[in-house]
Structure 1
Amino acid sequence: MSAVQEQFEIKFRLPDGTDIGPRRFPPASTVATLKETIIAQWPKDKEKGPRTVNDLKLINAGKILENNKTLSECKSPICDFSGMTTMHVVVRAPTSGKQSEKRAAKKAKDFRCGCAIM
Structure 2
Amino acid sequence: MRRMGLVIGLRSEVIPEYKRIHAEVWPEILALISRCNIRNYTIFLREPENLLFASWEYHGEDFEADMTLMRADPRMQDWWRITDPMQVPLSSRKKTEWWAPMEEVFHHD
Structure 1 length normalisation: TM-score?
A: 0.23
Larger radius of gyration, structure 1 or 2?
1
Higher RCO, 1 vs 2 (CA within 8 Å, ≥6 residues apart): 2
Higher share in helix:
2
